[in-house]
Amino acid sequence: MLTIDDFGHVQDERLRRLAAYWLDRCRGRTMPARRDIDPVDIPWVLPFIWLNDVVPGATAADGLRFRCRLAGEAINAVHRRNIRGLTLEDYVPADDLPVVTEQYSAVAQTPLVLHCIGRVYHRTRQYLVGERIVLPLSADGGGTAAVLLGATIYTTAEAGTMLPDAEPSDDFEEARTPIRSA
């Protein structure tokens, strides 16, 4: 089982608190169920939260697809529209779609926790800098992810700034932490 020590690399306090909340809701299981997450408990991160349903097949190369169940105000502002009900194909730039789909598929199928920091969003050849955590949720408290709970804190978006295009590899870090069974 994961412990809060496994999240030592998470820098933003709101994301660390979300990780601690997620761990508390595991209650000895591999991951919490979607019904274990109560928005009333996590007001400090609600504007930055998103939930994506895991949808098997039907394109995205017939692997997993991800449909946005809800997105906080800060997430919708970055996308310049409400992304609820949209799939990744509808709102992630085509150049980034294979990477994002692979990342989210790994969270759902392994299962694991994904943490990214640096240039976490690309739009029209510009980057937003921030930090993201993606956590799996089951439908029933079992070990299969049915929903992804994510939060993205955009450090430049709060100031309304996009960074000029550059090679993102030097300014991007990713950590994948597999979840050990209970």
Lowest mean pLDDT among 23-32, 33-42, 118-127: 118-127
Lowest mean pLDDT among 1-5, 132-136, 140-144: 140-144
- For 64-74, what is the mean pLDDT? 94
For the record, the structure tokens of 118 come out as 């640096």
- Model pTM score: 0.85
Output the domain CATH number for residue 98. 3.30.450.20
Q: Which amino acid is at 2?
A: L
Domain hosting 14: range is 4-178
- Percentage of the residues of the chain whose pLDDT score is greater than 70: 82
Please count the structural domains in the chain: 1
Lowest mean pLDDT among 88-102, 131-145, 157-171: 157-171
> Which strands sit side by side in the sheet containing 49-56, from one edge to the other?
64-71, 49-56, 145-154, 126-138, 112-123, 172-178
Q: Please tell me the predicted confidence (pLDDT) of residue 62.
A: 65
- For 128-149, what is the mean pLDDT? 89
Instruction: Find the Cα–Cα–Cα–Cα dihedral 125, 175, 105, 169, rounded to 10°.
Output: 20
- For 145-162, what is the mean pLDDT? 72
> Where residue 129 falls among pLDDT bands split at 50, 70, 90?
confident
Average pLDDT, the chain: 83
List beta partners, residue 113.
Answer: 177
Map residue 67 onto helix, strand or coil: strand
> Where residue 156 falls among pLDDT bands split at 50, 70, 90?
low
